[in-house]
Amino acid sequence: MAKSRLELHEILCEILGSRNVYFQPPETVKMKYDAIVYSLSDIDIKHANDKKYMNAKRYSVTAISKNPDSPLQDALLTLPYCEFDRFYPSDNLNHWVFTVYF
């Protein structure tokens, strides 16, 4: 399962249909919406026989849209190992937060 972050980035760009995908953007970046923002949130490591045998990076992925009925959330849920975490509105934008293992 250990794939590169850049592979995930390209998949998210395909889902969004644009390059408005941002990895840990600084506050100075002016984002264009609809957008996806993601960041590494954990690395899940499995052990057996005192050795690591598997690791999976966990990302927090947030889809942001002006449209409250955006198809983004359904598109993101098609990713393997993707779970919906929460929804919240902020600054007249809708935010759907997912956990993705990649």
**pLDDT at 87 exceeding the cut of 60:** yes
Read off the pLDDT of residues 17-33 as tens digits, 9 standing for 90 and up.
999 999 999 889 999 99
DSSP 3-state of 50: coil
pLDDT for the residue numbered 46:
87
Largest CA distance in the chain: 51
> In whole angstroms, what is the distance from residue 40 CA to residue 38 CA?
7
- pLDDT confidence band for 48 (50 / 70 / 90): confident
Q: Number of folded domains in the chain?
A: 1
Task: Say which CATH number the domain at 43 has.
Answer: 3.30.2000.30
pLDDT for the residue numbered 53:
82
pLDDT for the residue numbered 78:
96
Domain that holds residue 40: 5-101
19 contacts 13 by C-beta, under 8 angstroms: yes
Residue 79: phi and psi, rounded to 5, are -70, 140
